[in-house]
């Protein structure tokens, strides 16, 4: 069983729709990261959170530490949001500060 | 602007040749990482370095080698011993080894071995 599970694997939405991507993890963590990977391959860090909720523009990330679950929401989706969204967890008590990555959710927003 | 530069973006090599991927950062970050990404899989850690002149193997280090002679540079060599080298390679860095301030990622190098 993977330590970080994302759902759905693929998601197609119409422009303007509200989108939710889920991430569940099975290990103890210090923080959870949401990353965005565009078709060219480069990765941008969207959020790093260890509790509660963070908002940046149309993006909202929440985490429930007790349930080991996080969600990434996109409000008023736009075709430029089309990308792969990756959840990753990190335990900073470890010796390497490494991340464990989910397999990603491929989002396609149609105009 | 500060960031991570990976070069080249696309790289083609013949089977049996060693190839070196470049990763440079001007963020003054202590820690640097190399990840490999294959279709349908999450990123996997190849090597990481927490400080100059020190590096550690990650989960899939076999067939790879690295060096960290300067703080800003962490090149990855894909050797002929790597059985399946065709993949997308990502370099990342963090302020400290515990990464409590998050990570910065490069734009990646897509290596194709023919």
Q: Is A78 left (phi over 0), alpha (psi -120 to 50) or beta?
A: beta
DSSP string, chain A: --SEEEE-SEEEEETT--EEEEEEE-S--SEEEEEEE-TT--EEEEEEESSEEEEETTEEEEEETTTTEEEEEESS--GGG-EEEEEEEE-TTSSS--EEE---EEEEEE-
Q: What pLDDT sits at residue B66?
A: 98
Written as tens digits, the pLDDT of chain A (111 aa) is 678 999 999 999 999 999 999 999 998 888 899 999 988 788 899 999 999 999 999 999 999 999 999 999 999 999 999 999 999 998 765 555 578 899 999 999 999
With an 8 Å Cβ cutoff, the interface of chain B facing chain A consists of: 31, 33, 35, 40-45, 48, 50, 56, 58, 88, 90, 92, 94, 96-100, 102-108, 110
Percent of chain B with pLDDT over 70: 96
Alpha carbon distance A18, A41 (integer Å) = 25
CB contact under 8 A, B97 and A99: no
The answer to whether residue A77 neighbours chain B at the CB level (below 8 Å) is no
CB contact under 8 A, B100 and A104: no
Say how many Å lie between the first and final Cα of chain A, rounded: 36
Chain B nearest C-alpha distance from A17 (Å): 26
Question: pLDDT tens, B7-43?
Answer: 899 999 998 899 999 999 999 999 999 999 998 888 9
Chain A nearest C-alpha distance from B62 (Å): 18
CB contact under 8 A, B105 and A90: no
| Neighbouring-strand partners of residue A73 | A20, A60
- From the list A45, A95, A103, which residue is nearest B42 (CB)? A103
């Amino acid at each position: 069983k993977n330590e970080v599970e994302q759902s759905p694997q693929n998601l197609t939405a119409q422009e303007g729709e509200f989108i939710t991507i889920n991430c569940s993890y099975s290990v103890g963590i210090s923080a959870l990261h949401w990353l965005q990977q565009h078709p060219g391959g480069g990765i941008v860090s969207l959020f790093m959170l260890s509790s509660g909720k963070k908002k940046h523009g149309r993006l909202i990330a929440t985490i429930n530490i007790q349930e080991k679950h996080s969600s990434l929401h996109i409000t008023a989706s736009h075709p430029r949001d089309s990308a792969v969204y990756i959840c990753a967890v990190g335990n900073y008590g470890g010796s390497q500060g490494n991340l464990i990555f989910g397999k990603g959710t491929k989002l396609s927003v149609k105009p | 602007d500060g960031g991570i530069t990976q070069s080249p973006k696309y790289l083609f090599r013949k089977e049996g040749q060693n190839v070196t991927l470049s990763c440079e950062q001007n963020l003054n970050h202590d820690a640097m990482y190399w990840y490999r990404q294959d279709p349908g899989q999450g990123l996997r850690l190849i090597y990481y370095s927490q400080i100059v002149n020190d590096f550690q193997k990650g989960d899939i280090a076999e067939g790879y080698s690295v060096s960290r002679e300067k703080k800003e540079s962490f090149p990855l060599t894909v050797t002929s011993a790597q059985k399946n080298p065709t993949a997308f390679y990502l370099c990342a860095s963090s302020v400290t080894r515990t990464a409590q301030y998050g990570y910065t990622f490069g734009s990646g190098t897509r290596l194709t071995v023919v």
